[in-house]
């Protein structure tokens, strides 16, 4: 990448903050809006990639606990989807750093995500992949947590056509409601079950035990709070009610117990903090917000020739065609957390992985793309992708 390279004549890519087989995520500068953003750049224009881009770029939600794209752009090298830049990392990283969270701090995050799902569902959408790696955290330090539900790549209208083939499910193993595995159509209550699994992980700092109604409350969680959590995990979808009702119920329960800050880890008694994981701008970056900034230019990183931006009408036709093809042909498999593309010395093919990594993709020490998969004996192991 060249300094201040412009994508689609608008977005200057700064540094890569995530990557996967289908897309890379960059910290970027939006020249039109004059602000930094997170830019997901799709690699290639295959039908399955474009169908996911069609879905994600079409989600426009404004809510303090939802992160959806605010615009998109396209050119001959791919499609870019831009959203606000959230600097605190994922909720999964917070769980890994601290394990079990203070119950009141954890309940605050669940309350925010219930509010987010209520907004999503009232907009006529289903998320379908609620899990810690799809929740981003604002960098609030030792202050109150601020969670943002993100990654709407497999979201779709509640009354829309199903794009999956019969016999295939969409979501992440471990977060799927029982009725999904039984072949029932997508419903808002399935997002709530996934949130229940996430809530268990926040409160207990460990993998949820075998799914069943009335799971025993994790230590230290007040009974009234767990009453709401147990409804989220109920195997009967009608018992999960709806996000708005459960949000009101939990808010009422928590009203008598204000969040005390800093929140202290029940294990280490150290403050729970959400740091800025992005850090400073990279050395050599020509920051356009400074008075000495050089003008940006449209540059092709391979040929050094100016890029040709696709006409929006043309890419629109291409995306529509991909969506149509997807409705007929796309087999949606379990989405995964993007891998970094950099080999990790601690990962080997068939080596043990952690429950928190289930469905995640990484590159093994030998360069093989692997995914963490639950085995019949209960172990989690890194297995080759494909």
Q: Specify burial of residue 288 (Cβ count, 10 A radius: 0-12, 13-18, 19+).
A: middle
Q: Specify burial of residue 220 (Cβ count, 10 A radius: 0-12, 13-18, 19+).
A: exposed
Query: Residues 48, 155, 356, CA angle at the centre, nearest 5°?
Result: 90
Q: Specify burial of residue 376 (Cβ count, 10 A radius: 0-12, 13-18, 19+).
A: exposed
Query: Residues 214, 203, 338, CA angle at the centre, nearest 5°?
Result: 110
Q: Where are the beta strands (DSSP E) in the chain?
A: 6-7, 11-19, 23-30, 35-42, 71-75, 78-84, 125-126, 135-137, 147-149, 156-157, 361-363, 369-374, 380-384
Residues 6+ apart with CB under 8 A from 136: 67, 86, 88, 89, 90, 91, 147, 148, 150
| Catalytic site residue from 129, 151, 191, 234 | 129
129 tagged catalytic: yes
As annotated, the active-site residues are: 129
């Amino acid at each position: 990448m060249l300094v201040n390279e412009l994508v689609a004549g608008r977005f200057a890519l700064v540094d890569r903050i995530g990557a996967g087989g289908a897309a890379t995520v960059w910290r970027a500068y939006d020249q039109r809006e004059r602000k930094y953003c997170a830019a997901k750049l799709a690699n290639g224009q295959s039908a399955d990639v474009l169908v996911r881009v069609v879905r994600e770029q079409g989600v426009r939600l404004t809510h303090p606990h939802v992160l959806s794209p605010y615009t998109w752009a396209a050119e001959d090298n791919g499609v870019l989807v831009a959203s606000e830049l959230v600097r605190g990392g994922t909720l999964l990283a917070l769980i890994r750093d601290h394990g079990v969270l203070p119950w009141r701090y954890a309940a605050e995050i669940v309350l925010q995500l219930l509010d987010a799902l209520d907004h999503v569902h009232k907009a006529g959408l289903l998320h379908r992949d609620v899990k810690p790696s799809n929740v981003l955290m604002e960098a609030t330090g030792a202050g109150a947590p601020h969670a943002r539900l993100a990654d709407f790549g497999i979201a779709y209208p509640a009354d829309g056509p199903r794009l999956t083939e019969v016999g295939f499910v969409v979501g992440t193993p471990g977060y799927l409601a029982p009725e999904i595995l039984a072949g029932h159509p997508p419903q808002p209550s399935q997002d709530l079950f996934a949130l229940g699994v996430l809530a268990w992980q926040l409160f207990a700092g460990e993998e949820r035990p075998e799914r069943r109604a009335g799971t025993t409350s994790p230590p230290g969680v007040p009974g009234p709070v767990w009453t709401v959590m147990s409804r989220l995990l109920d195997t009967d979808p009608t018992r999960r009610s709806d996000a708005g009702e459960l949000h009101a119920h939990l808010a009422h329960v928590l009203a008598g117990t204000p969040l005390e800050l800093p929140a202290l880890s029940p294990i280490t008694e150290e403050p729970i903090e959400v740091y800025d994981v992005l850090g400073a701008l990279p050395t050599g970056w020509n920051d356009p917000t400074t008075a000495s900034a050089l003008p940006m230019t449209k540059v092709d990183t391979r040929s050094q020739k100016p890029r040709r931006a696709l006409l929006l009408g043309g890419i629109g036709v291409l995306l529509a065609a991909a969506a149509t093809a997807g409705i007929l042909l796309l087999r949606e498999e379990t989405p995964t957390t993007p891998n970094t593309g950099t080999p990790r010395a601690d990962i080997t093919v068939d080596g043990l992985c952690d429950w928190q990594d289930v469905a995640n993709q990484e590159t093994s020490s030998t360069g093989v793309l692997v995914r963490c998969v639950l085995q019949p004996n209960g172990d989690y192991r890194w297995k080759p992708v494909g």
